[in-house]
Structure 1
Amino acid sequence: MLTEERFNIILKTVESKKAVTVQELTELLGSSESTVRRDLTALHEMGLINKVHGGATAVDNSYTTSEDDVAYKHGQYSEEKKRIGQYAASLIKKGDFVFIDAGTTTEALIDYISEKEATYVTDGLGHANKLLKKGYKVFIPGGHLRISTEAMVGEETVEALRKYNFTLGFFGTNGISPTAGYTTPDVHEAMVKKEAFENCRDAYILSDPSKFNKISSVTFGDIGSATIITTDLQDHKYLKFTEIMEVDRNDLHSDL
């Protein structure tokens, strides 16, 4: 049996049973114990399973299709969002053409932006308002407004973003997974995120620790196609898949 075939069988078995022993897999695959152990090690290193003593368990990915509204999200992980936002803002330089995704984590970024000689595009209505009040040059694409996230969505929004080539892009996410990448519950928002994401020279995911090992309904980007800015990273397997900037508590300055 080919390695790829064994991997597929192992993954399906772990997914359905949640836990499996080496002995069960040797009987199922008709392979030696040493071969099964090597396969489990390889799959563990890819982040697809958890290798444990005597077998393997499913990765603790939490699937979610629901989404909290903006008012609720503002109160969640507020300190972490400030730390992430301040660090992200420091990456913006003179002449940059910046996309800022809708969402509460990316909104925290705007509070710390000081570069006035950059141009900003956002699909977040509240984001655009804050940027305008700070006197920055900002564009908002057309479309219709999604109430729960205050984000512009629709084919008109996607079409408007298609013509842009951003130097930097900052995105929120509802889930981060080695297999599913960056995910969000709403297909219309995913289309907007994906279009902007693919048009960024450098894309950054701004994420508090709660988003790791979660999968939402629609993928808008592969795990390795962006740098993650976060705090207090718990699951270090993600370092194998993409660059991660972990912001320390001491990096937050009280200059607002």
Structure 2
Amino acid sequence: MLTQDRHSTILNLLKKQSSVTLAELTTLLNTSESTIRRDLTALDKAGKLRKVYGGATSLDFYTSTEKDIQTKHDLQITEKNLIAKKAASLIEEHDLVYLDAGTTTELIVNYLTQYNATYVTNGISHANKLSERGFKSIIIGGQLKKSTGAVIGTVAIENLKPYNFTKGFFGTNGISTQAGFSTPDPVEACVKKTAMKHCQKAFVVADSTKFDQITPITFADLENATIITDILKDKRYLDFTNILEVL
């Protein structure tokens, strides 16, 4: 099979199932693994797919599932700490700060130094850490989502509306040029959306694995927040928003 035909077959397969493995492609195309690796490298460089360990994914990989909070804590921990440290450095004296629930936003608390700022959060663990460290903190009331430790629901949304935050830091499950910032839970998305609307400056803290990912509900367009990440692999995102890299 010609190279062009193999490339076409790979891309058509990705349109149907979002991800493929080397084993699948070597069987389907009756071609050696080394040839498939070269094909995936070429297509990745051409910006037509994302090459990953053991295969490839479409540029905007769609997922509707969400990992539990303990699993998230253990992922990309070095990158998350660097991102959190950078985020904390942006907080100034007398800021009114919103900290969204999430594992990376929780790590921000470890690096806070501004005791004259006020911190508002919908994260249970965030509130506990803020209190333990002696920061002035407020927790939003509402329904508790056990899997993420987030306070959500209509009560939480109403409680957010009076605030005028100077800065807000948000987590996200997906970042995409097509779907913006997204999360699997529509109720949690509404809380994020409301809080971000009440921020003078909004920041999304996300490691590089969150890019080119789409989950069911968009809570903000890319232009609505500055992204703080470890490393930006796809420079096209710079056309949509400001991005701060920590590596």
Alpha-carbon contact 1:165-1:201 (below 8 Å) kept: yes
Q: Which runs of 5+ in 1 are unaligned?
A: 1-13, 20-48, 53-57, 249-256
Supply the distance in 1 between the matched residues of 2:95 and 2:157 (Cα, whole angstroms): 21
Q: Does the aligned pair in 2 maintain the 1:50–1:59 contact within 8 Å?
A: no
Structure-2 residue corresponding to 1:137: 136
**4+ residue runs over 3 A deviation:** 14-19, 49-52
| 2:167 counterpart of 1:168 | yes
Identify the residue that residue 93 of structure 2 maps to in structure 1: 94
Paired amino acid for 1:162:
K
For the residues of structure 2 that align with 1:140 and 1:217, how far apart are their CA atoms? 27
CA distance in 2, matches of 1:201, 1:223: 15
Contact 2:48 2:59 in 1 (8 A): no
Matched residue, 2:73: 74
Q: State the match for 1:104 in structure 2.
A: 103
Partners in 1 of 2:213 and 2:48 — Cα distance? 19
TM-score by length of 1: 0.75
Displacement, 1:112? 0.2
- Residues 21-75 of structure 1: per-residue CA shift (max 9 Å, x gap): xxxxxxxxxxxxxxxxxxxxxxxxxxxx9579xxxxx961110111011111110
**SS of structure 1 residue aligned to 2:79:** helix
Q: Give 1:23-38 correspondences, 5 Å limit.
A: none
Task: Give distance in 2, aligned partners of 1:84 and 1:223.
Answer: 18
Summarize the Cα distance change of 1:16–1:121 in structure 2 as closer, same or farther, 3 Å threshold: same
Percent of residue pairs identical: 48
The Cα offsets for residues 67-123 of structure 1, whole Å up to 9 and x where unpaired, read as 011111110000000000000000000010000000001011110001000000000
Question: What are the residue-to-residue correspondences of 1:1-256 with 2, within 5 Å?
Answer: 18=15, 50=47, 60-248=59-247
How many Å apart are 1:17 and its aligned residue?
A: 8.8
Structure 2 distance, partners of 1:129, 1:161, is 19
Q: Alpha-carbon deviations, 1:143-195, whole Å to 9, x = none?
A: 11000000001100000001111000000000001121000000111010000
Separation of aligned partners in 1, 2:48 and 2:174: 23
Verify the 8 A CA contact 1:227 1:242 in the aligned structure 2: yes
Secondary structure of the residue that 1:173 maps to in structure 2? coil
3-state SS of 2:120 partner: strand
> Deviation at 1:236?
1.0
| Residues in 2 aligned to 1:246 and 1:80: alpha-carbon distance in whole angstroms | 10
When the two chains are superposed, the root-mean-square deviation of aligned CA atoms in Å is 2.1
Give the whole-Å Cα distance in 1 for the aligned partners of 2:139 and 2:187.
Answer: 16
Structure 1 CA distance for aligned equivalents of residues 231 and 14 of structure 2: 31
For 1:6, the equivalent position in structure 2 comes to: none
Task: Tell me by how many angstroms 1:18 deviates.
Answer: 4.2
2:59 aligns to what SS in structure 1?
coil
Consecutive unaligned residues in structure 2, runs of 5 or more:
1-10, 17-45, 50-56
TM norm structure 2: 0.78
Give the number of equivalent residue pairs.
201
Shift of 1:232: 1.8
Aligned-partner Cα distance in 1 for 2:94–2:165: 11
Contact 1:182 1:220 in 2 (8 A): yes
Residue 235 of structure 1: CA displacement? 1.0
